Structure 1
C-alpha cells in the first residue's frame, strides 16, 4: 500500500470521480464524507489534508483529516460532523498504524465513525445509535409509521399547523432554497437558541458561518447544501440547513423563530421536510446522534456510529489520552442516559430562564 498526503485542492478530476464512485451506497454515501464537503472545509481550514491510498496502480481509498499540534488528528471540521471514516473500495484493506505514520499523526480521534471501517473496528470504544427518518417507502408510509407510534402526537401537531395558518397566513414549505438571507436568519435563530440555553454558540466562529454560506452555493450532480424554510404567509417561522448527497440528507442545523413557539414550528418543519424530501427523491434523513425527544418522534431506524481513537506509541499520545478520556466518558454517560440527559437539559433551561428574567429586569430598571 502506498499512501500520499495532499491538500484537498490538489485532488484531480479523476480523484474526485473515483471518490464519488466509492460512495454509491451504504454508510460511506453520507454527505459529510463527500469530497465537496472536504473541499469546502479545506478552503477555510489550512490543516485539512487527504491521504490517498493506492494499491499498485489502483486508488483504493481517501482519508480526509485535520492535523493539529503535536500530531493530534481529527476528521475535518471536528465537532460539527456526523460521519467519519476512510472512503474506500469494497475490497480495500489498510493498516491503521501505517496510515497514521503516513499522515504524520500520533492520534486520530473520531466520534461518528460509520460502519464498514473494519481495520478501525478494534479501536472503537463505544457504539451508539444515530436516528434516521426512513423515506424509502414514500411519505405516506412514513406518516403512517409516525401515526402508529403516537396518534395523539401527529394529530396535535397537524392541529397546530392548521392554527398557524389561520392565525398568520397560509403555511408553505420550500426545499432547496438558495436565499442567503434565509440561511443567515436560520443561523441567527440558532445563535439565539444556543445563548438562551447556555450552550456554546457555534456561529460566533467566523469560519463556520463562511462554511455554511459556501456550502449553500455548492451544487454538483450528487451533492448540494440544502436549505428548507417553513413560512406562515410571507413570514419565515422555521428552517433547516443540511447536506444532501444522492438520496441521503444529513440533518445539521434546524432552527425556528421562538415568537412562534406555541405552534411547535420546529416539529412542523420536520414533518413537512419529510413530505417534500420524499417527493424529491431523498430516501433517508440522518438526524444525528443524541437523546433529543423530537428525534424519537420521527425515528424510523438507527444508523450505528462509533467513538474511539487510534493511538501510536508516543509520549504525545499518552498526554492526549490523559487529558481527554475522563471528559469523554462523563459526556457519553450523560448523553446515553435519558434521565441524566433530561436533568442536564432541564438545568440548562432553568438557568436560561433566570438569565432572561434578569436581563429583562435590567432593561426595565
Structure 2
C-alpha cells in the first residue's frame, strides 16, 4: 500500500473530494461514524490553520497515482509524538475509510514518522488500532433518521410523563418571558461571541479549564463558524425569548450527522431549562434537514441520559512502535488517564470531585469580584 503524507494545506482538491465522497457513502457502507463531521476534511484543514504539526496520510492501493482508499489526519511533534487531530477537543477520531479496509498500524506509523499515536475518541471499526484500545466508552445519540415524531415516540416509550413535561418547557418559557423563537442556523457572529462568553463563565463557575481562554480554540471555532459547504458546516443554533437569546449551541454538521459540541445558556433563565428546550429544537431542526442522528459526545450527563435514544461507542488508547519516545510518552500519560477514568466512572468519586471543582470555581469568582 502506498502511504503519502501531506501538510494540511498541501491536500489536493481531488483528494479532498474523494474524502468527502467516502464520508457521503458511510451510512450505505454500514460505517455511520465515518460520517461524523469531526472526521471531515474541513475540520482537519481548519485545525491545520490554527495549530502546527497537522498532517494527512493518504493511502492508496495502486501506487501514488491510484485512487485513495483511506485518509488519516493527525498531529505530530518534531520528536515523533502523534496525537489525534485536536486531541481533547474533537469527539470522533481515526482513519476515514470504506468497508473492508485493513492496514498495518506499524507500517502506517512508520510512514507518518510517528513513534506513538494517542487517541481519546476513536471511532468504531478501526482495524489497525483495535489491539491498542485501553478503554471504550458510550457516546449517546439522538436518532432522528425516522423524523421528529418518531424520535419523540421513542422518548415517550422510555419516560412518558417525563417527556410530556419536557415538551411543555418551551410553552412555560413563552408564558413567563415572551414569544419563543428558534433559529437553527444563526449567521450572526455576535451570537457566537455571546455563546463563548456564556460557556467561559460556565467553565469558570464549575472549576473547569476555560477552553475559550486558549486563543487557538477561539480561532478554530470562528473559522468553523464561517465554513459552509454542502457536506459540512459549523452550525450555531440559538433559542430566543421575547427577542433575547436564552440558550445557544455550536456544533458541526456533515450531510447526515450533527456533532454536538458547545451548549450554553443564560443563567438568568435557568429555572426554565432553556438548554433542554434548545436540544429538543435542535433535534426537530435536524430531522427536518434529513439528518440521521445528533451525537451528544462521550460521557454520561443528566441531559444526555434524558435525550438519547441510542448509543455509539468511542475508545481511547495509543498505538506505538518500539521507540524510546513512545515509552516515555506512555509513562507520562497513562497514570493521568487511568486516574481520570476511575473518577469519572465511579459516582462515589465523581460527585465529590465535581463538588470540589465547583467550590474552586466559586472561590475564583469571588476573588475576581473582590
TM-score (norm 2): 0.93
Q: State the distance in 1 between where 2:193 and 2:78 align.
A: 32
Q: Please point out which of 252, 272, 275 is paired with 2:284.
A: 275
| Matching of residue 2 in structure 1 with residue 2 in structure 2 | yes
Please say if residues 71 and 96 of structure 2, whose CA atoms lie closer than 8 Å, have aligned partners that are also in contact: yes
Q: 1:356 to 1:41 in 2, by over 3 A?
A: closer
Partner of 1:49: 55
Using the TM superposition, give the Cα deviation of residue 245 of structure 1 relative to its aligned residue in structure 2, in angstroms: 0.5
RMSD, matched Cα: 1.6
Using the TM superposition, give the Cα deviation of residue 355 of structure 1 relative to its aligned residue in structure 2, in angstroms: 4.9
Partner of 2:101: 92
| Matching of residue 289 in structure 1 with residue 298 in structure 2 | yes
Which residues in structure 2 correspond to 1:167-316 (within 5 Å)?
A: 167-316=176-325
The alignment of Structure 1 onto Structure 2 pairs a total of residues equal to 361
Gapped regions of structure 2 (runs ≥ 5): 27-31
Output one character per residue of 1:260-283: Cα deviation in whole Å (capped at 9) or x when no partner.
111111111111111121112112
| Matching of residue 129 in structure 1 with residue 138 in structure 2 | yes
Q: State the distance in 2 between where 1:80 and 1:253 align.
A: 10
Q: Greater CA deviation, 332-341 or 243-252? A: 332-341
Partner of 1:37: 43
| Matching of residue 120 in structure 1 with residue 129 in structure 2 | yes
Partner of 2:12: 12
Gapped regions of structure 1 (runs ≥ 5): none
Structure 1 counterpart SS, 2:9? helix
Structure 2 counterpart SS, 1:189? helix
Q: 1:155 to 1:53 in 2, by over 3 A?
A: same
Using the TM superposition, give the Cα deviation of residue 118 of structure 1 relative to its aligned residue in structure 2, in angstroms: 1.0
Using the TM superposition, give the Cα deviation of residue 59 of structure 1 relative to its aligned residue in structure 2, in angstroms: 1.9
Using the TM superposition, give the Cα deviation of residue 69 of structure 1 relative to its aligned residue in structure 2, in angstroms: 4.5
TM-score (norm 1): 0.95
Please say if residues 291 and 338 of structure 1, whose CA atoms lie closer than 8 Å, have aligned partners that are also in contact: no
Please say if residues 197 and 352 of structure 1, whose CA atoms lie closer than 8 Å, have aligned partners that are also in contact: yes
Q: 1:151 to 1:55 in 2, by over 3 A?
A: same
Structure 2 counterpart SS, 1:250? strand
Partner of 1:103: 112
